[in-house]
Structure 1
Amino acid sequence: MSDAGQLIAGRYRLDGRIGQGAMGVVWRARDERLDRVVAVKQLGYDPAIGQAAGDQASQRALREARLTARLRHPHAITVHDVVEHDGEPYLVMEYLPSRSLADLLLDRETLPADDVARIGLQVSSALATAHAEGIVHRDVTPANVLLADSGVAKIADFGISRATGEGTVTGGGFIAGTPAYLSPEVANGREAGFPADVFSLGSTLYRALEGTPPFGTDDNPIALLLRVAREDVIPPRHEGPLAEVLTRLLQRDPDARPSMAEVRQLFEAVTENRPLPPPRPRGHLGTRLLKVHRPRWRLVLVAAAGAVLLALGVVIGTILVPDGGTSVAAPVSSAPPPAPTTTADLGCAASYEVTNSWPGGYQVQVTVRNDRTDDLSGWSVRWTLPDGHHITGLWNGTYTVDGSTVTVDNAGWNATLDAGASTTFGFIALTGNGTGADRPQLTCRTV
């Protein structure tokens, strides 16, 4: 752990701590080369996720920081530099004397509609520029909206806090802090894309206007995630153009939401007391935006894949479905899976990975790969469940238990796999003791 007065990377002199979270410590520092004050984020790790996972998360954060450092906008915190010192990663960022919107709402509970609209205009402007660059924030929450005394609002941590598990993983392995601001598709296990940022911005501003997130609050993160995934937004009590804008941002269907560039135009109309532009036809501009920026978006997703899996693996793992139920669809991946743990080559291979564990339970992801040279139209995975273990929720497939034998069959959407392609399913298991560390032998068959 660094100390005040220490010189980082031969250039950044640490002054005093200005923040601390699961991702590490944030310092105010002086750039001695350019004689300016900066913020230095020392990427540490949360003991709850372990040293190895923390190290991997830090490296993913560094890779993503290098990607997002190209973003320059007056309402986005700028990443100046990415350095290593004594083997530890550090992010050097713009220093903004400020409070987060989350801190402000602890004191005031709600903000006037005019203030909320001005914050929305500034933040949406920055996010629209980020989206134009192919950058998805993935963690738009009140904690990441910084407010200066001058009234300037800036969005911080483009993917950094999600990549390192900040405010995401607790000692029990469940979501804490950000579930109330997730979009329904992300809560259901899908990739976070541009529309997810739109929904999360709407959730953040709804909280500032209404005093509660759009799905309410709950001390049980699993119950809250289920509510986000399945229920509708609580209608705002406020009336007027701002409430109408938030309603458009908080559409359950991602294709029905405005693009972030349109969101900026909506807030411009509110702040200038002009009539709101009419909603666009469903699927028109949103589809065009994805086509225009598709190559850059893919680049971002490839660079940030590890970060997304770290965060969303926990989200998916906490969304339980009834025994034997079929889960919400997730994308089929053609990326190489982990080393197979199948006992025989029966046309497909399956690998088993414990992605999270806690006393009395654990979470598993199983990757199924088509080993054939032609397509397959169905698959089934079987293994022996240890004594005393009980599956309480499964997604991306259906399962049956016969004695101690578990059989998982494909869901309808992921039955067909091209040659060499793969898909995944996962489950939560409970046990009286232990953490499910042992990997069973799996048998994968095509059907």
Structure 2
Amino acid sequence: MFPDDGTPAEGSLFVYEGAVIADRYRVLGRAGHGAMGAVWRAKDERLGRVVAIKQLFPESPADPAAGERTRERTIREARVAARLRHPHAVVVYDVVEDESMSYIAMEYLPSRTLTELLEQQGPLVPEYAAELGSQLASALAAAHAEGVVHRDISPNNVLVTTDGAAKITDFGVAHARGEGSATGRGLVVGTPAYLAPEVADGAEPGFPSDVYSLGATLYTALEGRPPFGTDDNQLALLKRVGSGEIIPPRTSGPAIDIVLRLLHTDPAARPTMAEAARLFTRCTLPGPALPSTPRAPEPGPEPARRRRSRLVFAGAALVLTAAAIVAATSIPPRREPASAPAQLASAPSATAFTSVVAGPPACAARYQVVKSWDGGFQGLVTVRNSGRAGLAGWTVSWANPAGTSIDDLWNGTLVRTGTTSAITSAEWNAVLRPGESTTFGFIALARGGRRGIPVTDCRPAG
């Protein structure tokens, strides 16, 4: 596209280093590019600041009407993105025109995409993935509040700055109330590996599909691969996405538990984006550190030890606090004596473990308070197949300590009977092989500071 001397070819649609756009923005160099356009680093000579200039390419340069369509797409994207003012979304400053071309002037951030970060440093530690999830979900919740559906959330559209913060970008195919659509009806919109199953099947993207795509993005950050894998055959990939059967994750703990909630096949069962932001924020609250053991691997060759990025960024230290969890794949059974009291000593790190053996199959459960605050606490229950046969489902129940009630639950279904809470397995964590375990978590309200640890009862389904 450029001659050997670096100047633009005659008739080229590309800008070049040293060019001045709209008598204001002097191009300093290319910041990124793709099939649909390019982003340039430029100096705003009027305000003396560095900005990013985005240029969308015409769909067909030979088509006389293509330039006008590109101008309309550029203005539309800028209008949609300008609705959102959030610390974790890229800010749009202006739209300018120069020689029949339109450009978007945006906030410039020394950063790399999440895709590049994962390629360079491998999967993220769960605590940092949860931190990014909290930031991105809060920005997207603000977009949803403005009636904006992003429609293309993926690692390519997440920027990670040099101090470790995340910014959502690229509202090129977003849909907003009062704005036209950038795509025709019946077209699949978004990056195939990160689409929600209903969108892959032809449904119109909406707020729940954004939630799913964020879940798929964070699943990739934790696992190092998208939930449906990758495939050069995009039709085959779309078929897998449409089935909704994700690759079982190897990561365990609160972060992946929340991600799995976002990846629910039923759009109505997914949390809202605002709820997702609250869940990830709770996941990053300070708590006592306890060891964690990964889930048992799927049958087959032992997977290679995965490198976990610790993400040391220049310019600032990223301080993260880990949620305190125990999600062991092998929990030594400990029976409570028949005379054990219904309530055990109240302590944030205390646990209660019981096992009910009904011949094979059998299960055991461990209840923990992993974080606490004034008026509430976060609980984590680890369920283990303690029998000699596979489990097809399970139910864990307990009598709620006085003054406590469950306010939010993930990875299970809650049924209350009087003061008793019973949680049955979700679709993705019902089946457990002997020795295998899974977790579910909840937020509880605690009046009067009561956080007693109850005795749990775990029973196989059926």
Q: What range is the shorter-chain TM-score in?
A: 0.5 to 0.7
Separation in structure 1 between the aligned mates of residue 182 and residue 43 of structure 2, nearest angstrom = 25
Separation in structure 2 between the aligned mates of residue 201 and residue 135 of structure 1, nearest angstrom = 15
Separation in structure 1 between the aligned mates of residue 174 and residue 144 of structure 2, nearest angstrom = 18
**Residues 225 and 53 of structure 1: is their aligned pair in 2 closer, same or farther, counting only changes over 3 Å?**
farther
CA contact (8 A) 1:76 1:154 kept: yes
1:85 paired with 2:215, answer no
**Residues 49 and 19 of structure 1: is their aligned pair in 2 closer, same or farther, counting only changes over 3 Å?**
farther
**Residues 5 and 196 of structure 1: is their aligned pair in 2 closer, same or farther, counting only changes over 3 Å?**
same
Deviation at 1:13, TM superposition (A): 1.4
Listed one character per residue, the Cα deviations across residues 372-412 of structure 1 (whole Å, up to 9, x for unaligned) are xxxxxxxxxxxxxxxxxxxxxxxxxxxxxxxxxxxxxxxxx
**Cross-structure match for 1:101:** 114
Q: Which amino acid aligns with 2:15?
A: S
**Cross-structure match for 2:145:** 132
CA contact (8 A) 1:19 1:26 kept: yes
CA contact (8 A) 1:23 1:44 kept: yes
Separation in structure 1 between the aligned mates of residue 86 and residue 189 of structure 2, nearest angstrom = 30
Return the match for 2:128 from 101, 106, 115.
115
Alignment of 1:152-191 (within 5 A): 152-160=165-173, 178-191=191-204
**Cross-structure match for 1:195:** 208
Return the match for 1:233 from 246, 261, 273.
246
1:5 paired with 2:135, answer no
Listed one character per residue, the Cα deviations across residues 105-124 of structure 1 (whole Å, up to 9, x for unaligned) are 11233111111111111111
Alignment of 1:344-359 (within 5 A): none
**Cross-structure match for 1:224:** 237
Q: Determine which structure has greater relative contact order: mean sequence separation of CA pairs < 8 Å that are 6+ residues apart, divided by chain length.
A: 1
**Cross-structure match for 2:267:** 254
Deviation at 1:128, TM superposition (A): 0.8
**Cross-structure match for 1:147:** 160
**Residues 57 and 138 of structure 1: is their aligned pair in 2 closer, same or farther, counting only changes over 3 Å?**
farther
Separation in structure 1 between the aligned mates of residue 411 and residue 127 of structure 2, nearest angstrom = 28
Separation in structure 2 between the aligned mates of residue 52 and residue 12 of structure 1, nearest angstrom = 27
Q: Percent identity?
A: 54
**Residues 82 and 117 of structure 1: is their aligned pair in 2 closer, same or farther, counting only changes over 3 Å?**
same
Separation in structure 2 between the aligned mates of residue 51 and residue 66 of structure 1, nearest angstrom = 24
Deviation at 1:48, TM superposition (A): 10
Separation in structure 2 between the aligned mates of residue 51 and residue 188 of structure 1, nearest angstrom = 35
**Cross-structure match for 1:41:** 54
Alignment of 1:45-444 (within 5 A): 45=58, 52=65, 56-160=69-173, 178-272=191-285, 273=323, 274=371, 275=378, 278-279=408-409
In structure 2, the residue corresponding to 1:264 is in which secondary structure? helix
Q: Which amino acid aligns with 2:88?
A: H
The count of corresponding residues between Structure 1 and Structure 2 is: 274
Separation in structure 1 between the aligned mates of residue 75 and residue 105 of structure 2, nearest angstrom = 11
Q: Which amino acid aligns with 2:30?
A: R
Q: Which amino acid aligns with 1:7?
A: V
Deviation at 1:232, TM superposition (A): 1.6
1:27 paired with 2:157, answer no
CA contact (8 A) 1:136 1:159 kept: no
**Residues 29 and 50 of structure 1: is their aligned pair in 2 closer, same or farther, counting only changes over 3 Å?**
same
Separation in structure 1 between the aligned mates of residue 174 and residue 150 of structure 2, nearest angstrom = 10
Listed one character per residue, the Cα deviations across residues 241-269 of structure 1 (whole Å, up to 9, x for unaligned) are 11110110001111110000000000011
**Cross-structure match for 1:370:** none
In structure 1, the residue corresponding to 2:149 is in which secondary structure? coil
**Cross-structure match for 1:380:** none
In structure 1, the residue corresponding to 2:129 is in which secondary structure? helix
Q: Which amino acid aligns with 2:51?
A: V
Deviation at 1:38, TM superposition (A): 0.3
Quote the RMSD (CA, aligned, Å). Answer: 2.8
Runs of 4+ residues over 6 Å off in structure 1: 48-51, 161-165, 174-177
CA contact (8 A) 2:153 2:214 kept: yes
Separation in structure 2 between the aligned mates of residue 235 and residue 153 of structure 1, nearest angstrom = 26
**Residues 17 and 39 of structure 1: is their aligned pair in 2 closer, same or farther, counting only changes over 3 Å?**
same
Separation in structure 2 between the aligned mates of residue 49 and residue 216 of structure 1, nearest angstrom = 37
Instruction: Give the greater-gyration-radius structure (CA).
Output: 2
Deviation at 1:159, TM superposition (A): 3.2
Q: Which amino acid aligns with 2:50?
A: V
Separation in structure 2 between the aligned mates of residue 48 and residue 184 of structure 1, nearest angstrom = 34
TM-score (norm 1): 0.57
Deviation at 1:102, TM superposition (A): 0.4
Deviation at 1:64, TM superposition (A): 3.0
CA contact (8 A) 1:45 1:51 kept: no
In structure 1, the residue corresponding to 2:75 is in which secondary structure? helix
CA contact (8 A) 2:77 2:174 kept: no
CA contact (8 A) 1:207 1:213 kept: yes
**Cross-structure match for 2:432:** none
Q: Which amino acid aligns with 1:44?
A: F
